[in-house]
Structure 1
Amino acid sequence: MTQVCSLPSSAADVNDKYNGKRLPKGIHIVEADDASDSKVGGMSKSEDPPSPWGYIFIQHMSAGCFEKRLDSLKLDGEFKPNCFVHRSLHYKQKANGRGVQKEMKPSISGLVFLQGETNQLKTFLTRYFPQYYLVNDCCTSKPATIPDNLMRPFMKIMSETPERVTFLRDPFEKFAKDHVKLRVLTGVLKGQEGYIVRILRDRQLVMDLGGYAVAISNVHREDFEIAE
């Protein structure tokens, strides 16, 4: 089940330092052959990047209804955003009383992500869902935008193993003070950047998701490089 929690002041154990900041113990950090070149390949300059994502808050009981209504809209070629509802894993008793079964339900956070440029999303919401507004990034005070290349792995993890995701109440900037920013080189999160922090007795990757600090667990087998 996806959690929302605050962090204590303690951080990951360290075995070395970089520019006076802590490097996490137990994480495989690869030294770059050339400090100016990342080992993560980027998109061809000739390709246009997919549209980013914004998000809205909806009471979690209404998120499913919003998704169905959006799905049913027939707009004849007009802009219609892709939608991803943040769901959490729940367990309920089977009808026969023998064991439990898993069930995905819209989470209490009420997060609904929509794909499109900010102006497109604003116009769309004003026309079809005027009761909802795009959430601002607390750092910029402007509607949050999440790059598609970050949103895609996040959606994959949320769909397949949502228990790996923890939304934190602390701002992302808090972790920059004592931690070295790292870039993931392997796995579904390849290319993403964040800080390795000890949360709930586990070293997790804390990332910035549209102004949210989000922690992803089970990353200790991945390779990393220093991103600073």
Structure 2
Amino acid sequence: MTQVCSLPSSTADVNNDMYNNKCLPKGIHVVGADKKSASKVGGMFTNEEPEAPWGYLFIQHFAAEKFDKILEEGNWEGDFIPKCFIHRTIGYKRKANGKGVVKEEKPSVSGLVFLQGKTEDLKNFLQKNFPRYHLVNNCMTGEPASIKNSVMKPFMKVMESEPERVTFLRDPFVKFAREHVKLRVLTGIMAGQEGYVVRILRDRQLVMDLGGYAVAISNVHNEDFEIAE
């Protein structure tokens, strides 16, 4: 189950290794940290073809539950129809008659809908077809959030295969830059992603930027990292 919470006051355990007057997280393997150097494998994650970025919006819970189906079935103005991603959690509830249970799917994060497309294309599509809905702004730029597809792809993979690893934080991503060294993941499903390793709920997690939104990915302590600053 995806969680939404504020970050506890405690942060990641740190060791004695320093970079730019910041301590590197304890228990994390950082390649080349002793030399304070950039990765020797930089650029290895930029070979894929560029694809359209993603924006997102928050809409009413019940509307979000079926928004992707509405996009598929509707007759919309204009040629552009964005791809939609809504992660759902499967649950069970007792039938009204009290006999047995029925399966139901609900958005893991209430009202959260991701749409793929350039910002102007998404804005025009919403204005023409859903004038009540608006893209969420990146709190750091004040402009509609634009998430690179190279960031969304691994995020969606984790959400679909291991959603329990994902925690949405109420704190903005920029908060974590003050005391933590930005790292890049070199191994595993999140390879190529950048963020800060922070201790959350007794676990060292990768806090990454998702359009200004801070999202924590757990179970990364066995991965290799490099300094990304």
Match of 2:213 in 1: 212
State the shift of 1:59 in Å.
1.7
Q: Which residue in 2 is equivalent to 1:141?
A: 142
Q: Which runs of 5+ in 1 are unaligned?
A: none
| Structure 2: unaligned runs, 5 residues or longer | none
Residues of 1 paired with 2:217 and 2:128: CA distance?
A: 36
**Residue 177 (structure 2) pairs with residue 176 (structure 1):** yes
**2:224 alignment partner in structure 1:** 223
Counterparts of 2:43 and 2:208, CA distance in 1? 17
Do the aligned residues in 2 keep the contact of 1:87 with 1:158 (CA within 8 Å)?
no
Secondary structure (helix, strand or coil) at the match of 2:38 reads coil
Tell me, in whole angstroms, the C-alpha distance in 2 between the residues paired with 1:161 and 1:11: 24
Q: CA deviation at 1:92?
A: 4.8
Could you tell me how far 1:102 is from its partner in structure 2?
A: 7.9
Per-residue deviation, 1:139: 0.8
What root-mean-square deviation, in Å, do the aligned CA atoms of Structure 1 and Structure 2 show?
A: 2.6
User: Quick one: which amino acid aligns to residue 142 of structure 1?
Assistant: E
Checking the alignment, whether the CA contact within 8 Å between 1:59 and 1:108 is kept in structure 2 is no
Q: Is the 8 A contact 2:77 2:128 kept in 1?
A: no
Could you say which residue in structure 1 is the equivalent of 2:44? 41
What's the offset of the Cα at 1:124? 0.7
1:27 aligns with 2:28: yes
Secondary structure (helix, strand or coil) at the match of 2:205 reads strand
Shift of residue 38, structure 1, vs aligned partner:
4.0
Q: Is 1:15 the equivalent of 2:18?
A: no
Task: Measure, in 1, the Cα distance between the counterparts of 2:107 and 2:39.
Answer: 42
For residues 78-117 of structure 1, the aligned pairs below 5 Å read 78-88=79-89, 90=91, 92=93, 104-117=105-118
3-state SS, counterpart of residue 170 of structure 1: strand
- For 2:15 and 2:81, the matched residues in 1 are separated by 50
Q: Which amino acid aligns with 2:177?
A: A
Out of 217-226 and 5-14, give the one that drifted further: 5-14
Matched residue count: 224
Identity of aligned residues (%): 66
After TM superposition, give the deviation of residue 107 of structure 1 in Å.
Answer: 2.9
Aligned amino acid, residue 69 of structure 2: K
Q: Which residue of 2 aligns with 1:130?
A: 131
Deviation at 1:64, TM superposition (A): 2.3
Which residue number in structure 2 is paired with residue 3 of structure 1?
A: 3
Partner of 1:155: 156
Which deviations, in whole Å up to 9, do the C-alpha atoms of 1:89-140 show, x marking residues without a partner? Answer: 545569976xx99864213431100000011101111111112111111111
Inter-partner Cα distance in structure 2 for 1:91 and 1:151: 29
Amino acid at match of 2:44: G
TM-score of the superposed pair, with normalisation by structure 1: 0.88
In the alignment, is the contact (CA less than 8 A) between 1:184 and 1:223 conserved in 2? yes
